[in-house]
Structure 1
Amino acid sequence: PVVWLNGDEAVDTAALVGSHAGGERYEENDQFVSGVSKKTEIVRERWVDNPLSVAVREGATLVYNEFSRSDPAAHNVLLSVFEEGVLERPGKHGDDRTIDVHPEFRAILTSNDVEYAGVHEQQDALLDRFIGVHVDYYDDETEREIVAAHVDLSEDEIATVVDTTRALRDDLEIVVGTRAAITAAKGLTVFDGHAETDEDGEFDDETLANVFTDVLAPKMVGEKDGDIDDLRSRITETI
């Protein structure tokens, strides 16, 4: 079984472990003896487990997507899970405060590089308990297959888009991922009949430069006014 959790700025310890959510009320009305009424009312808070509690108790695999988008303070609760095999649940009392981690429990956490916007640098104490696997960009053939699954372009046109993406990835300081190739390919499909092509049927350099500039320009938001023009020039030179 797999338990999924998306990292976000709003994720805190309660979002991982669980919290009290409302209450439960029980009322008993005992009239066993004629003329005597006995009422008993029990009110208690209702606790709701969240993904981490469910995963460690049931022995599931926790997939924590983009975990570095969450506040590092929320992850302190993970230290005892990975080190001592015990989950402490703030807000709980007595024997219910802790859960012994199931021996089949596993955790997979994904993250972008710290250079990405919205990514928090995590504490070393937590990272020391991980085994890191660096996932690089897809190879050329795989990127072509991914782009082809999203757009209706010929193999040669898709090859042009992917080759341009990979060239820009090497030449520019900004991140030029596979998603940029997909977006650029979708942008190129708006040309009716792909009219903006050269004599070989391939997209001309100006069209490619314009589309890729539009795709990558949002990454320059907040920079100097002239940086977009500089980006366009560098894209044109690369193409």
Structure 2
Amino acid sequence: MADDASRKRKVRGRKIRSDRSQKEGRRAKKELARKASNAGKKNGDSPLTDPAAITPEPFVETDAVTALRERINGWLKAEQPVHLIGPTGCGKTALALSAAAERGRPVVWLNGDEAVDTAALVGDHAGGERYKEDDRFVSGVSKRTEIVRERWVDNPLSVAVREGATLVYNEFSRSDPAAHNVLLSVFEEGVLERPGKRGEDRSINVHPEFRAILTSNDAEYAGVHKQQDALLDRFVGVYVNYYDAETEREIVRSHVDLPDDTIETVVDTTRTLRDALEIVVGTRAAVTAAKGLSVFENPETDASENGAFDDDLLTAVFVDVLAPKIAGQGPEDIAQLRTQIADSI
């Protein structure tokens, strides 16, 4: 680990902070938006959400974050679906939600996994409605007719294209590519076909304000499917990597109340381990490590205030944070991880 002088160096560069009253105000505004959104749900199961209710909290605003979000929203204004790609823990989901909220349109959230099929996207029959009609038009004659009508329930994609919402499709590449064939006509012809739906309303004309933001981990991650080229050709891909050191410090600071020097040490260690280890060490790992230090280190000590806590504690915390990534590989691998982290520190 660096010497005491480097540990005590102050964070340079522009810091963008909000005081506690502003944060409380934003939380109160989001809570009101959630209540309003819930009150307006159709049939109790509409996926539409007020944009103010999905803004990530906390969400850090730095020049790097703002520039990336403006790039995403620029493509959305150009009527292009945006596919955010990058390593896990780099903030893709928070960025997608922030960009969606900034549009001011209702938001529809969808989380991809193996269980997502075409019906999960567009809708399906949800049982039937049975009722009886009594015809007493002729005096003294009663005619009773029993009618059974199937009930169709729209799922997130159908709701989003009809209402002109922003679809945030998280972990898009974890879903089976066959489920996404319906997206081809949405992005090319502006029409959504609802397989299984009968009648004249089998298709929906895509609302002119409909937009889509999709997020995916890099292709080498487990559980990720390669999507069809015909669909990927209709997206623009924005690669989201880990942010600069200043932004990572601000992200950690927004989650944990620790001295600046402690946060700087955590972020510096995270960035060092990111280069030294073969496993993924994301910004989320820095936040988790900082939370651990806030518990295990006594904040009343001078060492904690100066960020000069014991290297053994820092090593132990990062081992705990990163050990799940090699779980099941045996104690010798944990020992090797501990050695690598200790050497890096």
Q: What is the TM-score with the length of structure 1 in the denominator?
A: 0.92
| Higher relative helix content | 2
Aligned to 1:212: 318
Q: Match of 1:110, SS?
A: strand
Q: Check conservation: 1:196, 1:207, Cα contact below 8 A.
A: no
RMSD: 2.1
Aligned to 2:182: 77
Q: Match of 2:148, SS?
A: strand
Aligned to 1:187: 292
Q: Check conservation: 1:90, 1:97, Cα contact below 8 A.
A: yes
Q: Check conservation: 2:133, 2:145, Cα contact below 8 A.
A: yes
Matched, 1:45 2:45: no
Aligned to 1:86: 191
Aligned to 1:226: 332
- Stretches of structure 1 that go unaligned for 5 or more consecutive residues are none
Amino acid at match of 1:186: K
How many Å apart are 1:58 and its aligned residue?
Answer: 2.2
1:88-167 equivalence runs, <5 A? 88-167=193-272
Amino acid at match of 1:135: V
Rate the CA distance shift 1:94–1:29 in 2: closer, same or farther, 3 A.
Answer: closer
In 2, Cα distance between equivalents of 1:67 and 1:80: 18
Q: Match of 1:136, SS?
A: coil
Identity of aligned residues (%): 78
Amino acid at match of 2:293: L
Rate the CA distance shift 1:230–1:25 in 2: closer, same or farther, 3 A.
Answer: same
Aligned residues: 239
In 2, Cα distance between equivalents of 1:53 and 1:200: 55
Larger relative contact order (Cα-Cα within 8 Å, sequence gap ≥ 6): 2
Rate the CA distance shift 1:199–1:108 in 2: closer, same or farther, 3 A.
Answer: closer
Amino acid at match of 1:80: S
In 2, Cα distance between equivalents of 1:117 and 1:181: 23
Q: CA offsets per residue over residues 147-191 of structure 1, 9 Å max, x none?
A: 122222111111111110011111111111111011111111222
Rate the CA distance shift 1:199–1:106 in 2: closer, same or farther, 3 A.
Answer: closer
Q: CA offsets per residue over residues 93-122 of structure 1, 9 Å max, x none?
A: 242222222232211111111233332222
In 1, Cα distance between equivalents of 2:246 and 2:340: 25
Aligned to 1:175: 280
Aligned to 2:309: 203
In 2, Cα distance between equivalents of 1:43 and 1:190: 61
In 2, Cα distance between equivalents of 1:199 and 1:18: 55
Amino acid at match of 1:220: I
Displaced runs of 4+ in structure 1, greater than 4 A?
Answer: 194-201
Aligned to 2:84: none
- Stretches of structure 2 that go unaligned for 5 or more consecutive residues are 1-105
User: Is the radius of gyration larger for structure 1 or structure 2?
Assistant: 1
Q: Match of 1:132, SS?
A: strand
Q: CA offsets per residue over residues 16-43 of structure 1, 9 Å max, x none?
A: 0000011112321122333210112221
Q: What is the TM-score with the length of structure 2 in the denominator?
A: 0.65
